Structure 1
Amino acid sequence: MDTVQLKIKHRPFCFSVKGHVKMLRLALTAASMTFFIIAQAPEPYIVITGFEVTVIFFFIILYILRLDRLMKWLFWPLLDIINSLVTTVFMLIVAVLALIPETTTLTVVGGLF
């Protein structure tokens, strides 16, 4: 019984629900940035999505290397929530701006991701 609990407790980040959600978030944001680049959208759209891709990637690397276990002085769940809220606000602004009628189809698709 103890070995089952140990395996669940020490599951690698890539196979956890949190890991799957972060990787899905990274894939969607990278897809959005790709559409913006292909559509030659205004630079702020590309810069904001590129910044979000970088931040999400660093969070994934941080959790894969288990650095959250070494730096106990940070409350990681709160940091994740703040990061998600800031990302949501930035991406909502980009999505609304991308839906302005003068944009191309790929810019609209990038804004919807």
Structure 2
Amino acid sequence: MPTLKLKPKHRPFCFSVKGHVKMLRLALTVTSMTFFIISQAPEPYIVIAGFEVTVIFFFIILYMFRLDRIINCILWPLLDIINSVVTAIFMMTISVLALIPETTTFMILGGAITGKT
């Protein structure tokens, strides 16, 4: 009698731990960018935060459509790690620069939120 192999149940990306972390990261980065826009911070702060929002959104779409399973020639976990390191470096730099004198309350809030991603 042959045994039936059941496929493991695939959890949709939005309901996985990885999905929750990426969504939280997106929310924090959007909040930071919003504070920078409200405070009329220098344009590089807004541009870098906007770039990070775009990259995070790209990864969320990529994982939602399961393109990471279709495109096998890229090491996706390594790409995630590299993305996280680059994001951390950019956001830490913005956080420090946002705390330079002549800042507004919203710039400080944007820098404080950015430093926690």
TM-score (norm 2): 0.90
Deviations along 1:25-61, one digit per CA (max 9) or x if unpaired, are 0000000000000000000000000000000000000
Task: For 1:74-93, list aligned pairs within 5 A.
Answer: 74-93=74-93
Shift of 1:101: 1.8
1:55 corresponds to 2:55: yes
Mark the runs of 5 or more structure 1 residues left unpaired by the alignment. none
Mark the runs of 5 or more structure 2 residues left unpaired by the alignment. none
Deviations along 1:54-85, one digit per CA (max 9) or x if unpaired, are 00000000000000000011000000000000
In 1: Cα distance, 2:14 partner to 2:100 partner: 38
1:11 alignment partner in structure 2: 11
In 1: Cα distance, 2:40 partner to 2:57 partner: 23
In 1: Cα distance, 2:84 partner to 2:24 partner: 13
1:102 alignment partner in structure 2: 102
Task: For 1:8-47, list aligned pairs within 5 A.
Answer: 10-47=10-47
Rg larger for: 2
Shift of 1:20: 0.2
AA matched with 2:63:
Y
| Identical positions, percent | 73
Q: Which runs of 4+ in 1 moved over 2 A?
A: none
Q: Which has the higher helix share?
A: 1
TM-score (norm 1): 0.93
Provide the aligned C-alpha RMSD in A.
Answer: 1.1
The total of aligned residue pairs comes to: 109
Shift of 1:6: 1.9
AA matched with 1:72:
N
